[in-house]
Chain A
């Protein structure tokens, strides 16, 4: 893969794959202009900032309450461009380790990058330092989890699957299959009635659930017809119709694995690209975030903080007992699965899972205390989610640089 050069390219180009192989970098003209404009307008030292500062800047912009929608989409686009390589490498590694002939590198790449919003929402620039490291860890989890779900979906019969899909996922799947909003409501009610009435007859046969018997279909239809009036659904349904709808639901659910990525290039109705860019220019002038970020003091402070955090966490890692340290090492440096860790340490997989949680916990406590004292972030239950992802980020970076130093 040709590596990208310069800030403009890093924040405005996207990987083009040919099958599972790198083909070229494609420029998004709008993102390119946005980046050039920014570099041109801001003080000269903006160009000297590292990629990571720009990533933090775009993340702050994305997070900002005041950002207009189109501006937020631009920020999202820049960050998506920024993590292209990370996503590629994670996808490649996962594809090499787990994937069957049906799901290759390109699929892994696509399923991960499509969930960019998940990645953006998990990060907080108050607590995190390096967006790309955080994103690598998050992308890895996302690909694995998506593949796990796919594997589980493939095992299920249609009827088993219908009991095992969330309402949110099913709704999105039906939308993505092209159903009109008015058609989705009856499908959902039929599905809800199915779940209420068709209960697995065995303690552990939820995946291989057989097709319901005719009397069950009748009961489902009866439930549907009772409830539909309360929900203002005009369409009555017979058992046969319900069955047809549910099969359509199952099909949509199997096809839909992750949200379709909406390109920022898609112009909104009535919105000419000219206006769009004018919006941007206005934003640039009123934007103080960047000048805050590049203030010499701020850069200094963040570097010092990062250094301090490094020292604190290295001590915390050293203080873990041998087993806990091995688990952390296996996970972050060697990327082992729980099963692999279990066989290395000769313990059950579930024990690995518990011990690893415990090992991470003492590090999380250390990090939360440090954030409280140094960054003045209150250890509020809601904010610990970001502390936890900051820890992931740190461990990811640390073990990528010095995989042996913790052992």
Chain B
């Protein structure tokens, strides 16, 4: 229960005791006490705010890109992105008693794949078990009114700059749904795979307590703008290697961790795709369920020939007899998101499946994507 002095118009939500106990346990998977605490606060925050948003505002409100990706953000900085219709809301939990300032990590403001439309300051009180919506600002406000602090790379707004009232998001949504709430961002220079590798090597060491401050922001942003590198960095800090390596899946089966990321073993029908290789035994592959425009699909991956390191990616509908609609694209990119020859299959008319077959160098990384973008998609680098 909150203090009797809590202003009567303050929006306070109760943290479910069960959630508090669970998230405390889960947070220990992160690398350092500080990132564990960050994960704990962020979990309390979104797991309390999201059910309220879904119930009182929009049933389709969701975290983004995906629940399983969230710890990879918290390993590196604080904040959780939510999607409310077309608006991205970045929740920033704070445990301060006073609300004199709202500090927002620069990543959430200046990295294009991270930036949001709104920033929500959420005061979390783990002792009394509540989360209070303390105020809001738009991206434009953060960029124009915020002070940049070089010391910890944050944008700081004074409490008087914030809109105290959560309702204003909803009212703005109804009266000005298309208003552009963002300031323009400078593009982030892309890193080469070698540069990224060097950074991953250096910052993947968990004794570097604040990797976000250990290299110039341009490099850091170049690394984090790429979802796959963000995941790799966090996973290295957790001491987890080879999670997203189909070569390893082939040798020793899917790890529990890979399964928690959405992959599962599937049996491919003989004579069908993925089992064409000469002398290859009945097809083993892995599938990931996707939801695209509210319809279920599956992305399948199978090895055509281990010796040649050739692989097949395939997209098909999970609806019996269902097809892939015109305009859908299955695409593969190199690790640093570059296209290559024959990297996409596009449905010119409705088709049974989209597929691509590739021969890879040992250790080569690939990123898959589908157009339109599946719900909860988070770019991942598969290592072959």
A binds B: yes
Q: Which stretch, A2-10, A295-303, A364-372, touches the partner chain B?
A: A364-372
Interface pick from A45-53, A78-86, A165-173: A165-173
Give complex CA distance A200, B95 in Å. Answer: 12
How many chain B residues have a CB neighbour from A under 8 Å?
A: 66
Does the CB pair A353–B96 fall under 8 Å?
no
Instruction: Tell me whether B232 is interfacial, beta carbon within 8 Å.
Output: no
Residues of B within 8 Å of A223, CB to CB, are 209
Inter-subunit contact B168/A385 (CB<8 Å): yes
One digit per residue, 1 when the CB lies within 8 angstroms of any chain B CB and 0 when it does not, for chain A 249-269 equals 000000000000000000000
Contacting A at CB under 8 A, from B152-170, are 152, 156, 158-170
Query: Which residue of A197, A231, A372 contacts B175 across the interface (Cβ within 8 Å)?
Result: A372
User: What's the minimum C-beta distance from B367 to chain A, rounded to whole angstroms?
Assistant: 33
Say which one of B31-39, B293-301, B343-351 lies at the interface with A.
B31-39
Contact residues, A207-253 vs B (CB, 8 A)? 207, 223, 231
Interface centre among A98, A141, A164, A168 (most CB of B within 10 A): A168
A360 contacts B176, C-beta separation under 8 Å:
no
**Contact mask B162-187 → A, CB, 8 Å, 1/0?**
11111111111011100101000000
Residue numbers in B under 8 Å from A199 (CB-CB): 33-34, 36-37
A208's closest neighbor in chain B, by CB? B127
User: A231 touching B151 by the CB < 8 A rule?
Assistant: yes
B118 CB contacts on chain A under 8 angstroms: 381
Residues of A within 8 Å of B97, CB to CB, are 149, 152-153, 156, 161, 164-165
For chain A residues 171-206, which have a beta carbon within 8 Å of chain B?
172, 192, 196-197, 199-200, 203-206
A64 close to chain B: CB less than 8 A = no
Does A350 have its Cβ within 8 Å of any Cβ on chain B?
yes
Q: Give chain A's interface secondary structure class.
A: helix
Which of B3-11, B251-259, B352-360 binds A? B3-11
What sequence of 0s and 1s flags, for each residue 8-50 of chain B, a beta carbon within 8 Å of any chain A beta carbon?
A: 1111111000001100100000000110110010000000000
Cβ < 8 Å to A, chain B residues 309-357: none
User: In the complex, are the beta carbons of B168 and A350 less than 8 A apart?
Assistant: no
Which listed residue (A151, A165, A204, A205) contacts B96, Cβ 8 A?
A: A165
**Nearest 4 CB-CB pairings of A with B:** A379-B175, A361-B167, A384-B168, A148-B5
Stretch of B67-75, B98-106, B241-249 that contacts chain A: B98-106
Residue of A nearest to B33 (CB): A199
Q: Decide if A132 is an interface residue (CB 8 Å cutoff).
A: no
Q: Which of B8, B160, B175 contacts A117 (CB 8 A)?
A: B160
Q: Is the CB of B209 within 8 A of A338?
A: no
State whether B8 touches A341 (Cβ < 8 A). Answer: yes
Interface contact B152-A382, CB-CB below 8 Å: no
**In contact, B172 and A350 (Cβ under 8 angstroms):** no
6 interchain pairs (CB within 8 A)?
A149-B98, A168-B158, A349-B2, A350-B130, A361-B167, A381-B168
Bound together, the chains give a CA A153 to CA B97 distance in angstroms of 8
Are A364's CB and B24's CB within 8 A? Answer: no
Partner of B164 from A148, A197, A331, A388 at Cβ < 8 Å: A388
**At the interface, yes or no: A277 with Cβ under 8 Å from chain B?**
no
Question: A residues within 8 A CB of B175?
Answer: 365, 368-369, 372, 379
Number of chain A residues close to chain B: CB under 8 A: 67
Q: Which residues of B contact A356 (CB under 8 A)?
A: 8-9
A325-368 contacts to B, CB under 8 A, are 331, 335-339, 341, 348-350, 353-354, 356-358, 360-361, 364-365, 368
Contacts of A380 in B (CB 8 A): 172, 176, 179
In the complex, are the beta carbons of A382 and B138 less than 8 A apart? yes
Contact A365 B9 (CB under 8 A): no
In the complex, the chain A residue whose C-beta lies closest to that of B12 is A353
Taking A197-B34, A385-B162 as known contacts, 8 extra A-B pairs with beta carbons closer than 8 A to each other, sorted by chain A number, are A166-B100, A197-B209, A200-B37, A353-B11, A353-B12, A361-B167, A365-B170, A385-B163
Complex-state Cα separation, A197 to B209, whole angstroms: 9
Pairwise interchain contact A381-B179, C-beta atoms closer than 8 A: yes
B140 at the interface (CB under 8 A from A): yes
Are B167 and A205 in contact (CB-based, < 8 A)? no
Q: Which of A203, A231, A331, A349 contacts B12 (CB 8 A)?
A: A349
Residue of A nearest to B21 (CB): A203
In the complex, residue of chain A having the shortest beta-carbon distance to the beta carbon of B11: A357
Is A76 engaged at the interface, CB distance under 8 Å to the other chain? no
Decide yes or no: A168 and B34 within 8 Å by CB, A337-B4, A380-B176 being known contacts.
no
Q: How far is the CA of A384 from the CA of B179 in the complex (A)?
A: 13
Tell me if B377 is interfacial: C-beta within 8 Å of chain A. no
Q: Does B289 contact A (CB under 8 A)?
A: no
CB-CB < 8 A to B6: which residues of A? Answer: 144, 148, 337-338
B11 contacts A122, C-beta separation under 8 Å: no
Taking the closest CB of chain B, its distance from the CB of A29, in whole angstroms, is: 30
CA distance A169 to B159 in the complex (A): 12
A165-B96, A338-B2, A357-B167 known; A192+B152 contact, CB < 8 A: yes
A93 within 8 A of B: no
CB-CB < 8 A to A144: which residues of B? 5-7
Q: Report how far A117 CA is from B10 CA in the complex, Å.
A: 21
Q: B20 near A165 (CB under 8 angstroms)?
A: no
